Structure formats: structure tokens, C-alpha cells
Amino acid sequence: MSEAGPGLPIGILAELTHRCTLQCAYCSNPLELLKADKELGTAEWRSIFEQAADLGILQVHLSGGEPILRPDLAELVGVLASRGLYSNLITAGVGLDETLTARLAAAGLDHVQISFQGARPETTEAIGRLRGSHEKKLAAARAVRAAGLPLTVNAPIHRRNIEEVELFIDLALELGAERLEIANVQYYGWALLNRPALMPPREAVERQIGIVEAARAALRGVLAIDFVAPDYYASFPKACMGGWARDAFMITPDGTAMPCHAAASIPGLRFDNAARLPLTEIWNRSPAFEAYRGTGWMNERCRGCERRDIDFGGCRCQAMALTGDPTETDPACSLSPLHAHVLALAESDAASAEATIHPRRIGGARAGELTR
Amino acid sequence: MTRPQRPIAGAQSRPALPRHVRMHFDERRGAWALLSPEKVLWPDEISLAILRRCDGRSEAGAIARSLALDYEADEDEVLADVLAFLQDWSDRMVVRL
């Protein structure tokens, strides 16, 4: 950490609930999902969002689980709007009808992001494990449009839908979306557990990159395409969260403030709760935020690297998951001595014909709950 | 399906901020920010001067004329700069032409 202390944070990912209409095998929620009785109430989220505005936060991503399952969603959007914060609803879209969209738009919602598990109805149903979900998502996207709200189509990519990338681009254009996120699944939590059934082969990833690059060039000014690379096959790691506790963080349904989704997978980190401690104090002094902030924690390989301030040594949680040491170089980095091992893991998972997954639901991570 | 064409900036374009982009004065940092779904942009003084005039009614030519007056600069040169700026920002979907 620099002597000047942390800068001001820009964004918060607020996971309002872990409850969800879908059961995607790569969900970024933890394996131990929180039940509804652990969720913060309206007053607590209101206070957190007011404090966020005071702290300098500019954007709040309202996520879950499925955030539209919270009956107070429009009220919370209203709090954000009243303080000028940019509000981004991250939803699976199932149940987002014209009435709710109109209420959210009236409350001042800035943007809606709807996930599509497939570009084909049968893929969406199989991945999210909900019949009729594709049509419901299409209806939600049209409701978003009818309410005059901007739309991003979010496409999480893995082995079971990687051949639908071109169709995702057509879908985003048909729906009149401004943005399309082609986001290759990152392997933590549920996705790590289900990695053998999800990892795409390298050739498919390369084909996908070619398609995205061509579409970006052809659709300049028409559709913005954001691409999240599958980092097991990358040369350099992702700048996870733009650096640990550097300009964004997240809050879980029970108020736990964490530098990222998977931070609880690092043993020994001490988290604070945003319903009990002022947000400023958490941002400036939370032990979990301080742990890997800046470059002081780095090993010599990372500290001496010219990419130190570009990717910050990659992802701490991935270093933990794949090397057992959260201070190691993220092995997605080609400069890591373990990089070849990670590549071999990806290739062997991709070549496996593994089709069984642990469905994302309470208790779903336990052995014996497998499904196709 | 037929795909929409890339919008091209011209002197008759009437630029505006698209609906997913919002200007916001950030009190804590004392600066104007351009807020969009995943990004926050911090426009410099000149960019800000152009963006403020992107009201969906003024033509790019008129915007250049007004800037040339304010900054005592050559109108043709300013127009070229304004069009290059608008094209770049339109390509990145942060300005609508």
C-alpha cells in the first residue's frame, strides 16, 4: 500500500440476496449459500448506500443471486438515484416484467444487465435448469427496452455454449442492446467445483476470440462488446477487481464486506460487516482489505515485474486455489513456475467428457448431488 | 439479419449522450465524471467542453463554431478536432451521433 493510503473507491457490487431462480453451475456465489433470514434489511442497505455516496462511490451494481427477488429493490434504487450514484441491475431476468421495469425506471435505475445462459432456448434451459427461462429473459429484455432503459446482454461462456458466441452477438443486436459481455467463466467456487464439465478446449477459445475481434470491428458504434478472457489459457493474469481493494469491493447479502467474490476462500482473512462498521472505516482499515492492497505483500517475482501495476500479480483467490499460497504469483501468469501445470489442468478438463455437474443450490456442493 | 451501420460523425451530426451514459459532478474528487455501466471516464477540459454541448439539438458544426469563439481558435481546425473526438467516442458508444 502506498503511504498516502487507499484512494477513493469507485464501485460496489451489492449482492442483495443469494436466492435465485436459476442454478447455473458456475455461479460466483459461495458454495455455502446464505438463506433469506441472513439477509440485511432495507434500512441497513439504505444506510450502506448513503455511506457509499459519502465515501466517493460512483457506481453500485445490484446483484445476487437474483436481486429482483428483493421486494425493496425499487426503494434501494431510489436511494442510489437520490445521491447521483449510477445504478446497474444485474439480473437473470426471470420475473422481470413490465410493471417492475417501469417501477425501477421511475425510481431512477440507470442500466440493466440480463444474463443469457445460452443463445438458444434449449441451452439457456439446460444451463440455468429452468424450463421456459429463455422466453422469460427475452420478455424481460423487451420490457427493459419498453421502459426506455439501456441494456447489456451478459453471456457467461464455457464448454457447453462456447459455440454459440456468434448467436449471442445476433441476439444482442436483435434485442437492441448497447452492450454485450462475452464473459468466459472464471473458476472459483461453483465453477471450480464444476470445472471438468465447463472448461472449453483451447481451439474453441481461439475461435471465439477471432469471432469477437471481427464483430467488434464490424459493430463499432453499434454494439460495445466486452470480453473477459478464460485466464487458464492466457499469457498474463487478469487484473482482478482492478487490484485488491483498489477501487471496488463487494458486500454479501449478510453485509460482509469483501475485496472480491471469492475472498472468503483465503484462510485467515478477517472481514468486517458493513451493517455494523462504518463503510469508511472498512475501506480504510478492514484487515481483509489491507492484506493484499498495493504491492507490499508481493513475492519478489511479482514485485520486480514490469507488469506489477498492470495486473497486480493477478488474482489472490486463484493463487490460493491453484497453489495453496495466496501470496504466490497467479499461475494464470506465464511467468509463474506453475503456469504449465495450470495449462495442463485446463487441457485435461477440456478433453474429459465430464458431463455431470453439482447444481448451484443449497446443499448442492455436497457429494451425491450430481446432475447432468 | 441486416446489421446496423457504424454511425459516422459529420458537421450535420447532432451528438448526444446515449441513455446508458450520465454526467455527474463528483463532490469528493471535485471533478466531472462520465458514468457508464462498467466504466467511469474522467473527461479533460476540452472533452468536457464538447460533451456539454452534446445536447442532441446542436449540430457538430455549431458546436465547433461555439468552441472556436470561446477558445479563440480557428473554426476549421476545431471542427476537425471535434469530429475526430465525436467519431472516437461514438465508436466506443459513449456518444450517440
Q: For the segment A296-338, what is each residue's pLDDT rounded down to a tens digit? A: 999 999 999 999 999 999 999 999 999 999 999 999 999 999 9
- A106 close contact with B: CB closer than 8 A: no
Asked if pLDDT for residue A369 goes beyond 90, the answer is no
**pLDDT attached to residue A117:** 98
pLDDT tens, residue by residue, A140-178: 999 999 999 999 999 999 999 999 999 999 999 999 999
Cross-chain residue pair B6–A174, CB shorter than 8 Å: no
- B17 close contact with A: CB closer than 8 A: no
Query: What is residue A357's DSSP assignment?
Result: B
Give me the helices (H) in chain A, please. 42-55, 73-82, 98-107, 121-128, 133-146, 165-174, 189-193, 195-198, 202-218, 279-285, 287-291, 300-303, 308-311, 316-323, 339-351
**pLDDT attached to residue A6:** 77
Q: What is the mean pLDDT of residues A253-282?
A: 96
- A41 close contact with B: CB closer than 8 A: no
Q: Which of A56, A222, A224 shows the shortest C-beta gap to B28?
A: A56
> If DSSP states are collapsed to H, E and C, what string results for A196-213?
HHHCCCHHHHHHHHHHHH
Asked if pLDDT for residue A368 goes beyond 60, the answer is no
**pLDDT attached to residue A294:** 92
Distances in Å between the Cα of A89 and the Cα atoms of A20, A165, B29, B37 are 14, 23, 25, 10
- Rounded CA-CA distance A46/B32 in Å is 25
Using an 8 Å Cβ cutoff, are A326 and A276 in contact? Answer: no
- B1 close contact with A: CB closer than 8 A: yes
Q: Give me A272's grid cell.
A: 468486517
Cross-chain residue pair B37–A58, CB shorter than 8 Å: no
Q: Which of B38, B86, B91 to mutate to test the interface with A (most CBs of A within 10 A)?
A: B38
- Rounded CA-CA distance A192/B83 in Å is 48
- A146 close contact with B: CB closer than 8 A: no
Q: What's phi and psi for B58, nearest 5 deg? A: -75, 135
| First-to-final CA distance of chain B | 23
Q: Which of B6, B23, B32, B35 to mutate to test the interface with A (most CBs of A within 10 A)?
A: B35
**Using CA atoms in the order B20, B24, B29, B30, what is the torsion angle rounded to 10 degrees?**
150
Asked if ipTM goes beyond 0.95, one says: no
- Residues of chain B found within 8 Å of residue A173, distances taken between Cβ atoms: 1, 3-4
Asked if pLDDT for residue A372 goes beyond 70, the answer is no
Using an 8 Å Cβ cutoff, are A72 and B10 in contact? Answer: no
Q: What's phi and psi for A12, nearest 5 deg? A: -130, 135
Using an 8 Å Cβ cutoff, are A150 and A112 in contact? Answer: yes
Cross-chain residue pair B6–A111, CB shorter than 8 Å: no
Give the model's confidence band at A365: pLDDT under 50 very low, under 70 low, under 90 confident, else very high. Answer: confident
| Percentage of chain B modeled with pLDDT above 70 | 98
- Rounded CA-CA distance A46/A53 in Å is 11
- Rounded CA-CA distance A16/A26 in Å is 19
Cross-chain residue pair B19–A149, CB shorter than 8 Å: yes
**Cis omega before residue A132 (within 30°)?**
no
- A170 close contact with B: CB closer than 8 A: yes
Give, in degrees to the nearest 5, the angle at Cα A212 between A209 and A218.
140
Q: Give me A152's grid cell.
A: 447489456
Ranges of beta strands (E only) in B1-97 are 22-26, 31-35, 40-41
Q: Which amino acid type is present at position A18? A: H
- Rounded CA-CA distance A112/B59 in Å is 30
| Percentage of chain B modeled with pLDDT above 90 | 91
pLDDT tens, residue by residue, B58-72: 999 999 999 999 999
User: How does strand A59-63 pair with strand A11-15?
Assistant: parallel
Give the model's confidence band at A353: pLDDT under 50 very low, under 70 low, under 90 confident, else very high. Answer: confident
**pLDDT attached to residue B82:** 97
Domain residue limits, chain B: 22-91
Q: Cβ contacts of residue B2 below 8 Å, gap of 6+? A: none
The CATH number assigned to the domain with range B22-91 reads 1.10.10.1150
Q: Which of residues 34-63 of B touch A (CB under 8 A)?
A: 35-38, 40
Give the model's confidence band at A354: pLDDT under 50 very low, under 70 low, under 90 confident, else very high. Answer: confident
- Residues of chain A found within 8 Å of residue B22, distances taken between Cβ atoms: 86, 110
Distances in Å between the Cα of A111 and the Cα atoms of A73, A83, A104, A252, B62 are 14, 16, 10, 21, 31
Q: Give me A225's grid cell.
A: 462488446
Cross-chain residue pair A178–B18, CB shorter than 8 Å: yes
Q: What is the mean pLDDT of chain A?
A: 94
pLDDT tens, residue by residue, B5-35: 999 999 999 999 999 999 999 999 999 999 9
Give the distance from CA A166 to its chain's centroid: 22
**Nearest in space to A217 (alpha carbons), one of B60, B3, B39, B35:** B3
Phi-psi region of A294 (alpha: psi -120 to 50; beta: other; left: phi over 0): left
- Residues of chain B found within 8 Å of residue A148, distances taken between Cβ atoms: 19
Q: Which of A58, A179, A220 shows the shortest C-beta gap to B37?
A: A179
pLDDT tens, residue by residue, A196-220: 999 999 999 999 999 999 999 999 9
Q: What is the mean pLDDT of residues B78-84?
A: 97
**pLDDT attached to residue A1:** 37
Cross-chain residue pair B18–A10, CB shorter than 8 Å: no
Which residue has 451489492 as its cell numbers? A14
Query: Taking CB atoms and an 8 Å cut-off, how many pairs form between chains A and B?
Result: 71
- Residues of chain A found within 8 Å of residue B5, distances taken between Cβ atoms: 222
Query: What is residue A186's DSSP assignment?
Result: P
Q: What's phi and psi for A166, nearest 5 deg? A: -65, -40
Long-range contacts at A125-130 (CB < 8 A, ≥ 24 apart): A126/A160, A127/A24, A127/A25, A127/A160, A127/A161, A128/A21, A128/A22, A128/A23, A128/A24, A128/A92, A129/A22, A129/A23, A129/A24, A129/A359, A129/A371, A130/A21, A130/A22, A130/A23, A130/A94
Give the model's confidence band at A367: pLDDT under 50 very low, under 70 low, under 90 confident, else very high. Answer: low
- A10 close contact with B: CB closer than 8 A: yes
Q: Cβ contacts of residue A372 below 8 Å, gap of 6+? A: A355, A356, A357
Cross-chain residue pair B22–A56, CB shorter than 8 Å: no
**pLDDT attached to residue A2:** 39
